[in-house]
Chains A and B, each alone.
Chain A
């Protein structure tokens, strides 16, 4: 059975665990570096990227995570998690994992009153639109040559990207009942 971890330092990790369990995956929260050994994939949840980055660095998660990524473990960051994944985040005050060759701009759509829900086209998971929830969301302002764009808003703004077994989404699939992106991410374990 697949065993997936969700970084449980802060944020909506329980929602991700629930989504994973709903599709029959053994899901656990991860708060210590040694827990990264026993899992096949890791999700970095929504939350506050400054808090998650600071706690991850302080408790030695980042070097261990980079080691696991080098061994081929898939990692997916949602919202704050996407910021955690990015190699380049302008003016970010705390350390991040810097795993994907993307630039992410924080709070890119404005303040909480500007948060929004919209249906997105995500070709990788089929024709049916994906209902995406953006909360004080970041956007992906640059993708490197090895990075594939998975979804954009109507104006072309990139909101989901993939680099090999690494994924970043600006929005929160864990807040909806649609598990297609979770399934897609888990398919990267065998890929």
Chain B
């Protein structure tokens, strides 16, 4: 199943499935778009109608997980199936960090991408899911380049900033994006300095070949989205201007006053992220954004971004 058709092979060469190119390729098709958290088929439909490129199925949006407490798990398979049948765009779903059986279940249900997510309660404090053995591709959160490369080395086919989910506060996502892009620039500047690249590989706990590849290209080998705290069209354009290739929006849409309108405005601002007049225009009269939380108001033990390593 996994052998690659040879580029010079006959037209009758076998089909190859679940290759890295196919897993990373789907994320490439999502670029410039917005992926929206949904908990029901109705919300998924609203997201698709607003122009979402994909939806993320989860049992509660992060703001509710934060408010309700308790263990947050993979969504009910029945809900996932309802969401899959409600829309034609790709459906992603969250599994707990290290919970490879939740990931197996989501793959069996036919989801298009699994998010191994710190928003859910971690299932394993030592190991993330070994992602390269799955047919379904994975997206993972990262706070800096080292974390991103560790996830890619495990098989992640897409990376997103962690941000601080469920806060409506963009500050952590900005911190993570800036960390990743500045560390990428640092590697690119010293792409020919082998001693430096080796020391970075040791620091990041990944093979030096991966560090060398990233240094040579000056970018991650997979697509980088922003997630965690986007609540307004201006937030969405900010992350794009900082180098994100697309946005995940969680609580920001369905915890706001007028979800459909806000969803559409965030899509528009993500596409036209350098057009301030357009962003001003789509930002008018959107109703109440989600209330939001300042980071100082969150006790250290309740921060989600510190989950995973």
Contact = CB atoms under 8 A, between A and B. Distances in A.
Contact of A116 (B15, B52, B267): B15
Interface string A112-146: 11111111110000001101010110000000000
Interface stretch (A10-18, A63-71, A183-191): A10-18
Chain B interface, >50% SS class? loop
Given A93-B49, A112-B112, A117 B22 contact: yes
B29 A11 contact: yes
B105 interface: no
B216 interface: no
Contacts of B268: 55, 58
A163 interface: no
Interface in B40-58: 48-49, 51-54
B289 interface: no
B29 A119 contact: no
B131 to A, nearest CB: 14
A169 to B, nearest CB: 14
Nearest to A131: B7
Contacts of B29: 11-12, 46-48, 79-80, 135-136
A119 B4 CA distance: 10
A149 interface: no
Interface residues of A, number: 45
Contacts of A112: 22, 26, 90, 112-113, 136-137
Nearest to A46: B29
Contacts of B107: 113
Nearest to A53: B51
A10 B53 contact: yes
A133 B9 contact: no
Interface stretch (B30-38, B117-125, B228-236): B30-38
A31 interface: yes
A106 B89 CA distance: 10
B12 interface: yes
Contact of A55 (B7, B28, B30, B51): B51
Contact of A50 (B14, B89, B110): B89
Contacts of B126: none
A54 interface: yes
Contacts of B294: none
A173 interface: no
B280 interface: no
B11 A129 contact: yes
Given A11-B29, A135-B25, A119 B48 contact: no
Contacts of B112: 111-112, 136
Most buried by B among A55, A80, A119, A154: A119
Contacts of B16: 116-118
Contact of B11 (A48, A94, A121, A178): A121
Contact of A119 (B13, B88, B267): B13
Select the residue from B12, B13, B22 with max chain A CB neighbours within 10 A.
B22
A95 B14 CA distance: 36
A91 B267 CA distance: 22
B241 interface: no
Interface string B89-110: 1100000000000000001001
A9 interface: yes
Interface string A26-69: 00000100000000000000111011001100100000000000
Given A107-B88, A136-B26, 16 more contacts: A47-B33, A48-B30, A93-B49, A112-B26, A112-B90, A113-B107, A116-B17, A116-B22, A117-B22, A118-B14, A119-B10, A128-B8, A129-B10, A133-B21, A175-B25, A178-B7
Contacts of B15: 116-118
A158 to B, nearest CB: 15
Interface string B265-309: 001100110000000000000000000000000000000000000
Nearest to A49: B88
Nearest to A174: B28
B5 interface: yes
